[in-house]
Chain A
Amino acid sequence: MNAAEPSARRVKRLLGRSAWTAGAWLAGLVFFFPVLWMALTAFKQESDAYTTTPQLVFSPTLDQFRAVFASGIGPYLANSALATVLSTLLVLALGVPAAYALSIRSVRKWRDALFFFISTKMLPVVAAIVPIYLAVRDIGALDDIGTLIVLYTAMNLPIAVWMLRSFFLEVPGEVLEAARVDGATQRQEITQVLLPMVAPGIAATALICVIFSWNEFFLALNLTSVRAATMPVFLIGFMTSEGLYWARLAAAATLACLPVLLAGWIAQKQLVRGLSMGAVK
């Protein structure tokens, strides 16, 4: 700070900065409040959850979480985890070679392919749900977690290909050229040179896929019922049976949100890039 600066101006600047800080914090807290409130409610007794004056002070309890687990959330959590993890691994297994073929040693019509991938993301899944439902029914794969895994893979592949490609393009061409000159096969070039260099990008891509599959509701609602049902489907049933127990509902909701909230917070630096299909860095 300049010592010669008149103190009145200094005070004004300081005030301005404090107002800015306060405004930004207030905005952040307003947006975060419903999430915070959900988490707080999950630790309340029902009597503390149902009050006309919201209770900020209460004695926390784990009763609601116990009740949620006792009501059989386990298989739903397991299904969500299975669908999310396996579809994400599949996306990477198919997406890395595809992105390679669209960036580093690109096929002749890479633009058409890229354009095709992303166009599939932009059209509503509702328009395809009837044939998908009938096909899945006819092959006897309704209420099968494998169905969700395959569909989530197809749903996330386009985003992953775009995102991975944008990371691949950042790898200096000379590095890969050098590997080729040294006699590396294509496989070696990918696994030993390219992948280690773009590891953060792969992690970010995986996290984006995790977010989308974990939160997916429409396909799960229409294609599963009991055996393969995931967390959003559990929540609907839970709302119907326990809708009047807000604290318990909040505990279930908190469990449903936690994995993605953590994944998103970890990946927040790459979130924009993923959501804009790699267009915004």
Chain B
Amino acid sequence: MATLAPSSPVPLTPGGQSVRLPRREAWRRRLPLSPALLLVIIATQIPFVFTVLFSFQSWNLVRPHSRHWVGLSNYRDVFTDSAFRDALFTEIEMTVLAVAVSMALGVGLAVLLDREFPGRAVVRTLLIAPFLIMPTVAGLLWRTTMLDPVYGIVNFLLHLVGVAPVDFVSRFPMASIVTVLVWQWTPFMTLIVLAGLQSQSGDVLEAAQIDGAGPWTTFRAITVPHLRPYIELGVLLGAIYLINTFDVIFMMTQGGPGTATTNLPYYLYQRAFLGFDVGQASALGVVTVAGTIAVASIALRMLFTVFSTTEGRA
């Protein structure tokens, strides 16, 4: 949880240039900001500084007196650790699959919901429910009532079409987890894309129609380019949340079977709280953060440039 802020932030629209203020006024303006800033720094930045320090130490909580500096050896261990590499690949696979599928479904559902039909508000309300469900409950719910090999609904439906029961969670652990993540995140993607669809100018669509463009051509030539920033934003925000997936894994598979669904957060949790290895877990944390920064800095740039929330007032 380190700051990503470089000394000068991404280039922004002109317009909002800051003005030099008298010293006293400058301090008066800073005052309302400082408590919030202070709390966030203490709770998120300082712990990360310690994570970096710990990552250069050999320190196991079970043997508190063995603590000493070891330089980069934790990092060497992390990069030569095959379990770490597995966790990294699991992480990428899980995040990419969940984001891609939920975005694809989200675009489809948003197009469905963009048109007026009887009960649209109700359907919209039903649709966002999965996103609001506590992730722990989501994992629990799918593991039991939905995917259970004997009593689960999915197997009942498969039985109707003559397929033998499947123990989804142990045979297809990754697919099971991704299903739950997609179920939870499709509503999020739908809402973002729907906001994009509804912000389209009616005049432009009408003009296209008058010019003789069919619905499909209009969609491809006008709607898709218009939606692009919304889709990008949805993908990036979704990725940032989904990189941290922990709850659903904890409830459904505990990272297993074997290490089939152990992603980076879960692996780190195992190292820190089941293995009590502070040094190793910290090195893992630093590496995870470095990876996340890549995704996050793109997302930040988007938040600042694409959408018009950046105009401040003097």
Contact = CB atoms under 8 A, between A and B. Distances in A.
Given A38-B141, A128-B51, A154 B192 contact: no
B233 A279 contact: yes
B247 A104 contact: no
Contacts of A214: 134
Interface stretch (B69-77, B167-175, B295-303): B295-303
Contacts of B33: 97-98, 101-102, 107, 113
B288 interface: yes
Nearest to B25: A105
Interface residues of B, number: 120
A118 B133 CA distance: 24
Interface of B: 1-5, 9-10, 12, 16, 18-21, 26, 29-33, 35-37, 39-40, 42-48, 50-51, 54, 108-109, 112-113, 115, 117-120, 122-137, 140-142, 144-146, 150-151, 153, 156, 159, 183, 186-188, 191-192, 194-196, 199, 230, 233, 237, 240, 243-244, 246-247, 250-251, 264-265, 268-269, 272-273, 278, 281-282, 285-286, 288-289, 292-293, 295-296, 299-300, 302-304, 306-307, 309-314
A37 B29 contact: no
A34 B314 CA distance: 50
Given A217-B246, A268-B125, A35 B112 contact: no
Contacts of A133: 272-273
In terms of DSSP, what is the predominant structure of the interface of chain B? helix
A130 B54 contact: yes
A182 to B, nearest CB: 19
A277 B241 CA distance: 13
A111 B314 contact: no
B129 A261 contact: yes
A83 to B, nearest CB: 14
Contact of B191 (A130, A134, A250, A275): A275
A271 interface: yes
The majority secondary structure among interface residues of chain A is helix
Interface in A231-281: 231-232, 235-236, 239, 246, 249-250, 253, 256-257, 260-261, 263-265, 268, 271-272, 275-281
A154 B265 contact: no
A118 B1 contact: no
Contacts of B286: 127
Nearest to A238: B140
A265 B125 contact: yes
Contacts of A222: 269, 273
